Structure 1
Amino acid sequence: MKKILFVLFAFISTTAFSQTKLIEKVPQVEGKIVIPYEKYELDNGLTLIIHEDHSDPVVHVDVTYHVGSAREELNKSGFAHFFEHMMFQGSENVADEEHFKLVTESGGRLNGTTNRDRTNYFETVPSNQLDRMLWLEADRMGFLLPAVTQEKFEVQRATVKNEKGQNYNNRPYGLFREVNAASLYPYGHPYSWLTIGKLEDLDRVDVTDLKKFFLRWYGPNNATLTVGGDVDPEEVIKKVEKYFGSIPSGPEVDPMALKPVTIDEDRYVSYVDSNIRFPLLLFTYPTVPRFHEDEAALDCLSEILGAGKSSYFYKKFVLTQKAIQASTFHPTSELAGEFTMFTLPFPGQKLADFENEVREILKDFEENGVTDADIEKFKANYESNTINGLASVSGKVSQLASYETFRNDPNYIQKDLDRYLAVTKEDVIRVFNKYIKGKPAVIQSVLPNDQVEPAAPDNYEPKTEGENPFPTTDYSGLSYNRPDDGKYDRSKKPVPGQSPLVKVPTIWNEKWSNGMKIIGTESNEIPTVAIQLTLNGGHQLDANDPTKSGLASLTASMMNEGTTSLSSEEFQEELRKIGSSVSFYAGQNSTVLSINTLVKNLDRTLELAEDALMNPRFDSADFARNQKQTIEGIKSNETDPSSIASFVYDKLIYGDNHIFSVPSSGLAETVENITLDDVKSFYKKYYSPKVGELVVVGDVSKEDILPKLSFLKSWTGPDVKMPSLTFEADTDKTKIYLVDKKDAAQSQIRIGYLTDMTYDPTGETYKAYLMNYNLGGAFNSRINLKLREEKGWTYGARSYFETGENPGPFTASAGVKADATDSSVYEFMTVITDYRENGVTPAEVDFMKKSIGQQDALNYETPRQKAGFLRRIVHYDLDEDYVKEQMKILNKITKKELDQIAKDRLKTDQMVIVVVGDEASNIEGLRKLGYEIVKLNAKGEPVEGESMESGK
């Protein structure tokens, strides 16, 4: 695309924008994928990119620093990720915990992420809040260090440790990436440790080390500020100059340049993970960095080998029922890439055999080569994913920021797509020969216990000490240079402008004589269409025969296995040729057919969807495979602490004999009872338009889409009678139910009871949601602030009411560090009890009203959000303007009313408290809390003779 270029050093309007120079403007171009933008640079080196888009009254602000874990060094890992946490802990003019509070009460969403090569912070807010977001981001860029204290450092160090425990140590297969990175990359290479870092490194550093890291890498000259959405570029420039212009530049940052990684022989490594059922076999080859000329062809090779039902890995391992999962992927970063192939074999097989079969796959590929269809499917899917990534202003801003950071070219999206659309069969064969064929790899085995043998004895142990062979950074001579704002008083928070007018989607409705309800809205920001057909029933229909629980879910799985004219593989390949998806899944109360496509492929996609719905294949071999995968998946969950906690909690909440005490997927013994005839019968009896609700969102009008859906209008089906379910909470008093998970790095906690509320968006449900917001519904709620920010015991804690057409529970939950298990239960119950007894504060009422009252601007932006909104209207038969009634309730509700709801709804004397953790180290502390303790196994069954009363 031809860019409109401007002289780099020509100043714009020396009076208004004296610090800012225009780099380029890129407009929309017909027939091309372009994100229009204006690019500027401030005197201090800050790059500013502005994307103007008035389709929704929202703005997205992203600050990307070109620093990630790759800028860390031996014995000092985890700094970049640590700073992601510290940047939310206040700055000179923003109080502790105030960053989340200010964004949330503005009706916005926020977060930060860190990877190997960059750290970004972002907010999506109503467009009248732009001033405040820029002020917040500038304050932590220029005024963070005066607010960094040893106390904050210690709390966030504990929080990061809990994140490591929850997402790595306590999660199934959670450590494989850490072992893999250390085995693939040389000692001292910045990719040889994970972004989260090593705990021993976090223990040895202090707050001074952290401050030096910030001073070196977080200057405006190493950052890109991208602002997109409902904005005026001239106004954005003025505001950015005001808030960021006085922040001094940091030290110069040179690009990293490291030699490509090579290994000279296969490296066999293994470890034991007690949280898994299936062993893991992983091959990892070193490849190329992101944007390398061979990246696209390697991605294509990865897809041919391991993506979809026609892939080599699926046919060799999954189709033959040797493995529950097998695939390949090719992630790339700024300095290197990794081509990874993996299998999750069913228990009882030898990993050595799987290693041989993986090698056979590579030989088969070499002999068979690449087909035109392989290339066609790869390109179609890449184009579809690229377009769908532009559904939101945040998606567009993220693309601009990423391309600027790593290519110095925000306008790279079409070029990126072009390089993928240019891949040839010859390219794929060339990169296979260059990077994979006959090349050594890291071959990693993850074992469920020490009785299972790895693919081969370990022959490699990553180096852990010695001189650093890689360049280091000089952190001497760095000092904090406080920005000079002159007469500008940065301590005064910007006052938001008038709230924008929120555009609720324009809705059209239909109801057909066969009983189906239809609702839709036209959305033409991207050329896509999303259709969702909901068939009410789902798992609750399993109540008709609880001995076959999981039948609804298994039937939905079988609906994905082709048609009477197309095999499972053929059906998926037809979809992959056009980059579309047609999929069925079942939940607690419904079965859903989800259809997503580019507009140009709508007709063909609907032909395939009709075939799948009307003519399911129901092949016996497909059934046997799906049934086995389901059973093994259920058994696998019995080793995962989080899954165990949720399962046991539901069983206690609903009661042993209730259908919702069983997961939607069923139990191993109930799924074993299901036959293919049961699946056919379920389809015949319960797949009916009379319980159907259809939602259409996309770049298509009502007049255009309805004729294309005639197959649904002419569909006939039986009446469906829902089983009668009873919901009665029978907890006589609060008890602790303890499930022993030996040596668990964390404990999983669930606390709650079964309410009598069903979903009512303008009644009790909504008011209970408002009451809970300050207790556990927001990041800076009492529960999360206590357990995460004050105590440092968890990565996150929350509470919520879960309601639908059936009553659901009030639940508080968290994963906490093992040695704080009893203390966490105590704090949970103390906070909930205090909230119940003493109520909400006036400041909390004000915060809740501001936050929820301004969220509406963000609720209808993407096709997915619009579909969710329409789904609620059609399913619960709501007025189209029910959100206006919610606003009236929100504005009128008082502290007194909220306090009464807390007293009524927080039944602290009738709570189920589930703890899954190491019994030996936790039992004494739990006894001291004064509750009766009932010991259960992972299936929620009592451990004989183990109930006990506890003394205080």
Structure 2
Amino acid sequence: MPLDYPIHRRTLPNGLRVVVSPDHTVPNVTVNLWVGVGSRHESPGRTGFAHLFEHLMFQGSKNVPSGEHFEALMAQGGRLNATTWFDRTNYFETVPKGAVELALWLEADRHGHLLDAVTQENLDNQRDVVKEEKRQRYDNQPYGNALIDVYAATFPEGHPYHHPTIGSMEDLDAASLADVHAFFRAHYGPDNTVLTLCGDITPEQGFELVERHFGPLPASAEPRRENHPQLGPLAQPVRVERRESVPNDRLHIAFRLPVDETEEFLAAAVALDAIGGLSTSRLVRRLVRREQIALGAHATAWGFVDGASLGFVVLDVAPGQDPDAVEAAFVEELTAFLASGPTAVELEASLAQSERSWLSALASQEERADAISHHLLLHDDPEVVNTHLDRLQEVTAEQVLAAARRWLQPQSRAVVAYLSAPADDDAVGDDAEDSAGDSDAGANEEEVA
């Protein structure tokens, strides 16, 4: 049965794109905003700004004292947070329906009038908060900087996805108050923002409230640049090795992929599922269950929009096993897949898992609102929440094989190996063919709390 979540769309004169998706099953409403600024919009020497503003947005605005955004909504029974990623920054809260106007007033004040509160004191304070976050989530965690290395090894210097969302602490230290204000003015405006209301509200109510609070804000964001052209696969393997005190050796094997929401990206994602993304995948069956040379095998595809996406496999090497042998076994399984493509069972299992995951996400009002905002901002198509599964079901084994042969060749891999340091070696070894950048620990986006 086709999905049929209601999508009512309107664009305000100032460029704010709005969707209201009524759901009267529970008496609350999710307010979800996506701003078209993430780490890919940062320039050299100015990294980390998108994430910094996610923090600054909770430090007060023209009519809201510092900390009151959280306090005011939590006092009404709301829950809220924000995250930053390569392609966007998002802000979201779920509140009882009687508090929707309060939530919209608070959001409009900080999205339109934040700089009244961005003082040198607030900037210095939040820089310190971001530094502590980096220490806790990256520097002091096993494998904490692995994805930093993955991004830098997979994407070339200067590419939008080469550096991570957390950014450079040196760049943040060098940033002046004027630099930070200029970044906000360039990117934060209703003409670079989408807003979704999902929950116990009618379209008429939703549009009227949004118009009341966001309508007076002027269009102010700088014009968006065109996305980069599609980046091809790596021409030759790249290898980065780190020797650290880690629980076990771990291999991250990454590939460039087509941009998100293309048929080729969906097909490549299915290929990664069959290779390592399912509990019945080839790597799990061979490396984990049969040969027991790996503790775990996982694969995933992350869809991005600015000229590339990212797919990668993570292999946890079993104690006493040779990481090179594990990697060689991976290459054998990948080569076999490239010879014949997915079996009927693998294709069915991948599609079934994707369907379960998609339906489970949409069952949550908050995740549904997030998906609507995501596809409205990045693809100008909020109806994807209803059409994604139909497109997925059209993926064929032939498309999966073709995408794998194009994007998942062994010579197109970037390997980031985190290897256990010898017990008597306190130094961190670094034998890398490519240097590394910086991002979100695991698959987590940067978030406030």
- What is the TM-score of this pair, normalised by structure 2? 0.92
Alignment match of 2:304 (pick from 321, 329, 333): 333
Say whether 1:317 aligns with 2:287: yes
Q: Using the alignment, how far apart are the partners of 1:194 and 1:407 within structure 2?
A: 22
Q: 1:438 to 1:426 in 2, by over 3 A?
A: same
Q: Using the alignment, how far apart are the partners of 2:275 and 2:431 within structure 1?
A: 26
SS at 1:348 equivalent: coil
TM-superposed deviation, 1:357: 1.3
Give the structure 2 partner of residue 357 of structure 1. 329
Say whether 1:257 aligns with 2:247: no
Q: Which amino acid aligns with 2:363?
A: A
Percent identity between the aligned chains?
Answer: 33
TM-superposed deviation, 1:367: 4.5
TM-superposed deviation, 1:266: 1.1
TM-superposed deviation, 1:347: 2.5
- For residues 852-877 of structure 1, give each alpha carbon's deviation from its aligned partner in whole angstroms, at most 9, with x where no partner exists: xxxxxxxxxxxxxxxxxxxxxxxxxx
Tell which has more relative contact order, 1 or 2 (C-alpha 8 A, sep 6+). Answer: 2
Q: Which amino acid aligns with 1:387?
A: L
Q: Using the alignment, how far apart are the partners of 2:341 and 2:197 within structure 1?
A: 46
**Given that residues 44 and 248 in structure 1 are in contact (C-alpha distance below 8 angstroms), is that contact kept between their aligned partners in structure 2?**
yes
Alignment match of 2:408 (pick from 411, 436, 439): 436
Say whether 1:230 aligns with 2:203: no
Say whether 1:389 aligns with 2:361: yes
Equivalent positions of 1:526-541 (< 5 A) are none
Q: Using the alignment, how far apart are the partners of 1:255 and 1:337 within structure 2?
A: 16
Give the structure 1 partner of residue 210 of structure 2. 240
Alignment match of 1:54 (pick from 9, 19, 24): 24
Q: 1:354 to 1:207 in 2, by over 3 A?
A: same
TM-superposed deviation, 1:206: 2.1
Q: Using the alignment, how far apart are the partners of 2:149 and 2:424 within structure 1?
A: 18
Give the structure 1 partner of residue 69 of structure 2. 99
Q: Using the alignment, how far apart are the partners of 2:133 and 2:410 within structure 1?
A: 39
Q: Using the alignment, how far apart are the partners of 1:261 and 1:205 within structure 2?
A: 34
**Given that residues 187 and 463 in structure 1 are in contact (C-alpha distance below 8 angstroms), is that contact kept between their aligned partners in structure 2?**
no
Q: Which amino acid aligns with 2:79?
A: R
Give the structure 2 partner of residue 460 of structure 1. 433
Q: Using the alignment, how far apart are the partners of 2:254 and 2:383 within structure 1?
A: 33
Say whether 1:447 aligns with 2:419: yes
SS at 2:149 equivalent: helix
Equivalent positions of 1:297-696 (< 5 A) are 297-319=267-289, 320-335=291-306, 336-367=308-339, 369-450=341-422, 458=431, 460-462=433-435
Q: Which runs of 5+ in 1 are unaligned?
A: 1-30, 465-794, 797-952
Give the structure 1 partner of residue 39 of structure 2. 69
Equivalent positions of 1:762-911 (< 5 A) are none
TM-superposed deviation, 1:458: 4.1
Q: Using the alignment, how far apart are the partners of 1:83 and 1:45 within structure 2?
A: 21
Say whether 1:284 aligns with 2:254: yes
- Number of aligned residue pairs: 432
Alignment match of 1:189 (pick from 154, 159, 162): 159
TM-superposed deviation, 1:451: 7.3
Alignment match of 1:39 (pick from 4, 9, 19): 9
**Given that residues 238 and 415 in structure 2 are in contact (C-alpha distance below 8 angstroms), is that contact kept between their aligned partners in structure 1?**
yes
TM-superposed deviation, 1:361: 1.1
Q: Using the alignment, how far apart are the partners of 1:463 and 1:331 within structure 2?
A: 19
TM-superposed deviation, 1:330: 1.6
Give the structure 1 partner of residue 444 of structure 2. none
TM-superposed deviation, 1:327: 2.2
- For residues 47-103 of structure 1, give each alpha carbon's deviation from its aligned partner in whole angstroms, at most 9, with x where no partner exists: 111111211110110111111111001121111111100001100100011111001
Q: 1:134 to 1:430 in 2, by over 3 A?
A: same
Q: 1:32 to 1:231 in 2, by over 3 A?
A: same
Q: 1:353 to 1:452 in 2, by over 3 A?
A: farther
Q: Using the alignment, how far apart are the partners of 1:261 and 1:193 within structure 2?
A: 18
Give the ranges of 4+ consecutive aligned residues of structure 1 lying more than 6 Å apart after TM superposition. Answer: none
TM-superposed deviation, 1:263: 2.7
Q: 1:137 to 1:119 in 2, by over 3 A?
A: same
Q: Which amino acid aligns with 1:65?
A: V
User: Please, what is the CA RMSD of the aligned residues?
Assistant: 2.0
Give the structure 2 partner of residue 84 of structure 1. 54
TM-superposed deviation, 1:386: 1.9
**Given that residues 30 and 369 in structure 2 are in contact (C-alpha distance below 8 angstroms), is that contact kept between their aligned partners in structure 1?**
yes
Say whether 1:113 aligns with 2:86: no
Give the structure 2 partner of residue 212 of structure 1. 182
**Given that residues 284 and 443 in structure 1 are in contact (C-alpha distance below 8 angstroms), is that contact kept between their aligned partners in structure 2?**
yes
**Given that residues 370 and 428 in structure 1 are in contact (C-alpha distance below 8 angstroms), is that contact kept between their aligned partners in structure 2?**
yes
**Given that residues 230 and 258 in structure 2 are in contact (C-alpha distance below 8 angstroms), is that contact kept between their aligned partners in structure 1?**
no
Q: Using the alignment, how far apart are the partners of 1:321 and 1:196 within structure 2?
A: 36
Q: Using the alignment, how far apart are the partners of 1:255 and 1:76 within structure 2?
A: 20
Give the structure 1 partner of residue 242 of structure 2. 271
TM-superposed deviation, 1:396: 2.1
Q: Which runs of 5+ in 2 are unaligned?
A: 438-447
SS at 1:144 equivalent: helix
Is the radius of gyration larger for structure 1 or structure 2? 1
SS at 1:95 equivalent: coil
Q: Using the alignment, how far apart are the partners of 1:194 and 1:61 within structure 2?
A: 27
Q: Using the alignment, how far apart are the partners of 1:255 and 1:102 within structure 2?
A: 39
Equivalent positions of 1:732-771 (< 5 A) are none
- What is the TM-score of this pair, normalised by structure 1? 0.44
SS at 1:91 equivalent: coil
Q: 1:307 to 1:270 in 2, by over 3 A?
A: same
Q: Which amino acid aligns with 1:428?
A: V
Q: Using the alignment, how far apart are the partners of 2:205 and 2:257 within structure 1?
A: 45
**Given that residues 50 and 89 in structure 2 are in contact (C-alpha distance below 8 angstroms), is that contact kept between their aligned partners in structure 1?**
yes
**Given that residues 185 and 261 in structure 1 are in contact (C-alpha distance below 8 angstroms), is that contact kept between their aligned partners in structure 2?**
no
- For residues 526-570 of structure 1, give each alpha carbon's deviation from its aligned partner in whole angstroms, at most 9, with x where no partner exists: xxxxxxxxxxxxxxxxxxxxxxxxxxxxxxxxxxxxxxxxxxxxx
**Given that residues 60 and 228 in structure 1 are in contact (C-alpha distance below 8 angstroms), is that contact kept between their aligned partners in structure 2?**
yes
Q: Using the alignment, how far apart are the partners of 1:157 and 1:402 within structure 2?
A: 28
Alignment match of 2:127 (pick from 157, 160, 172): 157
**Given that residues 54 and 229 in structure 1 are in contact (C-alpha distance below 8 angstroms), is that contact kept between their aligned partners in structure 2?**
yes
**Given that residues 5 and 386 in structure 2 are in contact (C-alpha distance below 8 angstroms), is that contact kept between their aligned partners in structure 1?**
no
Q: Which amino acid aligns with 2:433?
A: Y
Q: Using the alignment, how far apart are the partners of 1:150 and 1:292 within structure 2?
A: 44
SS at 2:90 equivalent: strand
- For residues 368-420 of structure 1, give each alpha carbon's deviation from its aligned partner in whole angstroms, at most 9, with x where no partner exists: 54221112212222222222222232122112111111121111223321221
**Given that residues 241 and 416 in structure 2 are in contact (C-alpha distance below 8 angstroms), is that contact kept between their aligned partners in structure 1?**
yes
**Given that residues 35 and 396 in structure 1 are in contact (C-alpha distance below 8 angstroms), is that contact kept between their aligned partners in structure 2?**
no
**Given that residues 187 and 462 in structure 1 are in contact (C-alpha distance below 8 angstroms), is that contact kept between their aligned partners in structure 2?**
no
**Given that residues 277 and 347 in structure 1 are in contact (C-alpha distance below 8 angstroms), is that contact kept between their aligned partners in structure 2?**
no
Q: Using the alignment, how far apart are the partners of 2:158 and 2:329 within structure 1?
A: 34
- For residues 304-349 of structure 1, give each alpha carbon's deviation from its aligned partner in whole angstroms, at most 9, with x where no partner exists: 1113343211122211221211222222211211221221112322
Q: 1:190 to 1:369 in 2, by over 3 A?
A: closer
Q: Using the alignment, how far apart are the partners of 1:331 and 1:303 within structure 2?
A: 12
SS at 1:237 equivalent: helix
Q: Using the alignment, how far apart are the partners of 2:362 and 2:342 within structure 1?
A: 31
